[in-house]
């Protein structure tokens, strides 16, 4: 059995979710190749070649792949599938965009957001916002799988795979990239961060959100997250959203400030190693999953926390 992993990257570097997806792939097979589809993405391909256990890296480049158009990614992957029994993609918004197309063209099911590989044909995946875990067995000859990266450890470095160019698939003439507005940040990426500081609706405004959450995040070297309520209210951008329908995170430390803990938010962070909740409502559901709870108004608690961190040498 040979497995193809489709890398998550920004052309210049590889995202941690790729290493984690390689770990899932290595459970299935020792023959794991990584496809880097992008534009001017040699650096990302070289990084993929260093992942321990990777047999070969395939690099496909075109303008449309650089723009992440799903039709172009699908057209690049399909001709390669003759040589693979499974294709694994991190379940990021990019992966979720193109992976089902590959499944449909191969006439197989997609096994979405797996959190465990039980055997070559059996996988565990969350359903109902993580309120249940479903074990499914696939009868398809080729498996198309997306991987919830936070459920797997990152594969280490130490590999020295070769990088081989492959043809970029043609994009559809019926779709055209117009532009994109990406948020630039010096902070770590939310999905792979070791520490995440999230704010909720209690912040009350976008100004207050940045004034309270950002300095604490920077002090801890953390990524910034938000509850759906805070994003819907416009206090934080959409890609900050942690939850069932936003990003699923599992950092070493998750700090929830002014977040009540709706089911859909808990689904996105309950696998964090240590959870801290600061909320003035002692009955907030977030305290039911928090390892350490501080019942206090964030307006006084966060400055005190900043001082305590400074005193502790942070």
Partner 1 sequence: MKVLVPVKRVIDSNVKARVKSDQSGVDLANVKMSINPFCEIAVEEAVRLKEKGVATEVVVVSIGPAQAQETLRQALAMGADRGVLIQSDQDLEPLEVAKVLKAVIAEEAPGVVIMGKQAIDGDNNATGQMLAALLDWPQATFASAIELSADKAKVTREVDGGLQTIEATLPAIITADLRLNEPRYASLPNIMKAKKKPLDVKEVATLGVDLKPHLKVLKVAEPAKRSAGIKVETAGDLVANLKTAGVL
227 binds partner 1 (CB under 8 A): no
Task: Output 84 or 98, the one with its CB closest to partner 1.
Answer: 98
Residue 167 interacts with partner 1 (CB under 8 A): yes or no:
no
Label the pairing between strands 116-119 and 122-127.
Answer: antiparallel
Q: Are 197 and 225 in contact (CB under 8 A)?
A: yes
Residue 88 binds partner 1 (CB under 8 A): no
Site string for partner 1, 268-307 (x = CB under 8 A): --x--xxxx----------xxxxxxxxx-----x--xx-x
Judged by CB under 8 A, which of 153, 158, 180, 186 binds partner 1?
Answer: 180
Selected range binding partner 1 among 32-40, 49-57, 102-110, 152-160, rule: CB under 8 A: 102-110
Q: Is 186 in the site for partner 1 (CB under 8 A)?
A: no
Task: Give the binding-site size for partner 1 (rule: CB under 8 A).
Answer: 90
Query: Per rule CB under 8 A, is residue 13 in the interface with partner 1?
Result: no
**CB atoms near residue 209 (< 10 Å):** 25
Q: Which residues, 59 to 78, sit near partner 1 by CB under 8 A?
A: 67-71, 74
Check binding of 217 to partner 1 (CB under 8 A). Answer: no
The answer to whether residue 260 forms part of the interface with partner 1 (CB under 8 A) is: no
CA count, 13 A, side-chain hemisphere, 130: 19
Rg, C-alpha atoms of the chain = 21
The residue from 1, 12, 133, 170 that contacts partner 1 (CB under 8 A) is 133
Single residue of 162, 165, 205, 238 touching partner 1 by CB under 8 A: 238
Residue 128 in contact with partner 1, rule: CB under 8 A: yes
Interface with partner 1, residue 250, by CB under 8 A: no
Please report, as residue ranges, which positions from 38 to 57 form the binding site for partner 1 (by CB under 8 A): none
Give residues with Cβ within 8 angstroms of 265, minimum separation 6.
227, 228, 242, 243, 259, 286
Binding region for partner 1 (CB under 8 A) out of 22-30, 38-46, 47-55, 130-138 = 130-138
Question: For the CA atoms of 296, 298, 302, 304, what is the dihedral angle to 10 degrees?
Answer: -40
DSSP per-residue codes, 31-79: EEEEEEEESS-HHHHHHHHTBTTEEEEEEEE-HHHHTT-HHHHHHHHGG
Q: Does 79 bind partner 1 (CB under 8 A)?
A: no
Residue 110 contacts residue 25 (beta carbons within 8 Å) = no
Taking the mean position of all CA atoms in its chain, how far away is CA 148?
7
DSSP classification of residue 164: E
Return the SS3 of 258. coil
């Amino acid at each position: 059995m040979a497995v193809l992993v489709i890398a998550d990257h920004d052309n210049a570097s590889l995202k941690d979710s790729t290493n984690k997806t390689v770990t899932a792939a290595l459970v299935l097979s020792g023959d794991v190749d990584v496809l880097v589809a992008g534009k001017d993405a040699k650096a990302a391909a070289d990084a993929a070649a260093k992942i321990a256990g990777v047999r070969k890296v395939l690099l496909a480049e075109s303008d449309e792949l650089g723009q992440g158009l799903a039709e172009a990614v699908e057209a690049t992957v399909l001709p390669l599938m003759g040589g693979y029994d499974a294709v694994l993609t991190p379940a990021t918004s990019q992966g979720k965009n193109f992976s089902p197309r590959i499944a449909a063209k191969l006439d197989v099911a997609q096994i979405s957001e797996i959190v465990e590989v039980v055997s070559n044909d059996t996988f565990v995946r969350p359903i109902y916002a993580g309120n249940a875990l479903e074990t499914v067995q696939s009868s398809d000859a080729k498996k198309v799988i997306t991987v919830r990266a936070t459920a797997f450890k990152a594969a280490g470095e130490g590999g020295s795979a070769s990088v081989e160019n492959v043809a970029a698939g043609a994009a559809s003439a019926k779709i055209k990239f117009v532009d994109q507005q990406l948020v630039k940040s010096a902070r770590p990426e939310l999905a792979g961060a070791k520490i995440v500081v999230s704010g909720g609706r209690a912040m009350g405004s976008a100004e207050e959100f940045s004034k309270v959450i950002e300095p604490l995040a920077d002090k801890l070297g953390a990524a910034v997250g938000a509850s759906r309520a805070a994003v819907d209210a416009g206090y934080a951008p959409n890609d900050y959203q942690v939850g069932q329908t936003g990003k699923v995170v599992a950092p070493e430390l998750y700090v929830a400030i002014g977040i009540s803990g709706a089911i859909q938010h808990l689904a996105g962070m309950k696998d964090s190693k240590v959870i801290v909740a600061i909320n003035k409502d002692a009955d907030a559901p977030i305290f039911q999953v928090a390892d350490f709870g501080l019942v206090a108004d964030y307006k006084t608690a966060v400055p005190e926390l900043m001082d305590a961190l400074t005193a502790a040498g942070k």
